[in-house]
Structure 1
Amino acid sequence: MAKAGRQGVRASVWLEGGGRPGGRRGGQPSGLDRERITEVTVRLLDAEGLAKFSMRRLAAELNVTAMSVYWYVDTKDELLELALDAVFGELRRPDPEAAEDWRVQLRTLARENRRLLVRHPWLSQLVGTYLNIGPHSLAFSRAVQGVMRRSGLPAHRLASAIAAVFQFVYGYGTIEGHFLARAADTGLSPDEYFQDSMSAVAESPDTAPDVIAESRAIMSARGGDTVAEMLDRDFEFALDLLVAGIEAMVERG
């Protein structure tokens, strides 16, 4: 595994050949391979969350010893980095040769990224923990950069525009994913959990009535009969605002 630099940067499984499919030591009598281990890791993270994940738990799910897993990865961090990149492989990327407007492709990438964060609530924490330089992650980054270049923004503005769009998506998808996971933990549907939460806040003696009234009015005005519809409408309008902002900056030159 590559060593951390002088600034203490976390090493990456993708450096110095660590991400090769066969693992560090090649084949092993257990019959496992790195792809299978990563697949089960993702499934456990989806089912039980990052806090409950351990190499021992993974080994039990694979019906092998923990040492068998360590034949393929040196550390838990390496395995989590592999899982991080694996789910980025689920993202659909627009065809760079397609005759689609950059706005259409940017919206597609943003929606795909949001769905990924919601589908895998553990993902958002790992994105900020590792270098995120696996092949699937880099392919997504290249797609984003290619689409944004066609917007007409000057080169020195591209990074800022990408940050504006995808940090918004990261925050939105993270909060949405956590909300849905919390609702599932309570055994309620998202709509039931939302209504119970609003009622609890409204009944709290420390809550200012005017703030609750304003919040209810805003939520009513935005429309949508379900939490899913409200979330979709908010996301799409916010995305429209960001695209309009990019267009305005292009016109300014």
Structure 2
Amino acid sequence: MATGSRTVRPRSSVWLSERKAPKRKGDQQPVGLDHVKIVAATMRLLDAEGLSGFSMRRLAAELGVTAMSVYWYVETKDHLLELALDAAMGEIALPMEAVGPVEGQEHSPAEPRDWREQLRRLAAEYRQVMVRHSWVPALLGEYLNIGPNAVVFSNAALAVMRNSGLPDDKITSALSLVYQFVYGF
């Protein structure tokens, strides 16, 4: 897409790209790093400093490695931000009925069975994630948000809405309304 004299390319997604590890002669993969540690440190930095204060150099310093070491695990800063966004979505507690039985967990009597209450809880959980991680709303507008945790959340919300009695062709619109209300609130 062209705007003025510059061409804007669509943003790539960590969920749609094939990871190609750097292959440089003599380089060794950094010891002690993994996706979990990198994403956790990213979220801590984003929580503390926001999007404007986040950089790959700052992240590397937090992890005690060079900035290039982080690129063994993620191709770009954008991909890392997508991973952090999905990790934040994974913090949302989901209703058991919506996600199905989880091995080793029994249904809690406190778990709401009414779809309205389940939807309220999902909306409240969604909002809590956005409040706890003030950088999440900005990323929701920038990235596809199609990681595994986001998909589980979306599927749970769809399952709750299917119990509402709305026709299937209205469910997505109803959920969009709820999400936009929470996002705007």
Pairing 1:78–2:82 present? no
Q: Match of 1:129? A: 142
CA-atom RMSD, angstroms?
Answer: 2.0
- The gaps in structure 1 that reach 5 residues or longer are 1-6, 173-253
Change (3 A) 1:30 1:88: same
Q: Match of 1:187? A: none
Q: Match of 2:169? A: 156
Instruction: Answer yes or no: is the 8 Å Cα contact 1:24–1:72 preserved in 2.
Output: yes
Q: Cα deviation per residue 1:186-207 (whole Å; 9 max; x = unaligned)?
A: xxxxxxxxxxxxxxxxxxxxxx
Which structure has the higher relative contact order (CA within 8 Å, separation 6+)? 2
Paired residues, number: 162
Alpha-carbon distance in structure 1 between the residues aligned to 2:145 and 2:9: 16
Identity, % of aligned positions: 58
The amino acid that maps onto 1:100 is R
Q: After TM superposition, give the deviation of residue 9 of structure 1 in Å.
A: 3.5
Q: After TM superposition, give the deviation of residue 74 of structure 1 in Å.
A: 1.2
The amino acid that maps onto 1:167 is Q
Pairing 1:168–2:181 present? yes
The amino acid that maps onto 1:164 is L
Q: Match of 2:93? A: 92
Q: 2:159 aligns with which of 130, 146, 150?
A: 146
Alpha-carbon distance in structure 2 between the residues aligned to 1:45 and 1:169: 21
Alpha-carbon distance in structure 2 between the residues aligned to 1:62 and 1:40: 7
Structure number with higher helix proportion? 1
Change (3 A) 1:8 1:117: same
TM-score, structure 2 normalization: 0.81
Alpha-carbon distance in structure 2 between the residues aligned to 1:80 and 1:94: 27
Pairing 1:113–2:126 present? yes
Q: After TM superposition, give the deviation of residue 65 of structure 1 in Å.
A: 0.3
The amino acid that maps onto 2:149 is H
Q: Cα deviation per residue 1:36-75 (whole Å; 9 max; x = unaligned)?
A: 0000000000011110100000011111100101111111
Q: After TM superposition, give the deviation of residue 29 of structure 1 in Å.
A: 3.3
The structure having more radius of gyration, on CA atoms, is 1
Which structure 1 residue ranges, 4+ long, deviate > 6 Å from structure 2? none
Alpha-carbon distance in structure 1 between the residues aligned to 2:21 and 2:79: 11
Q: Match of 1:235? A: none
Pairing 1:12–2:25 present? no
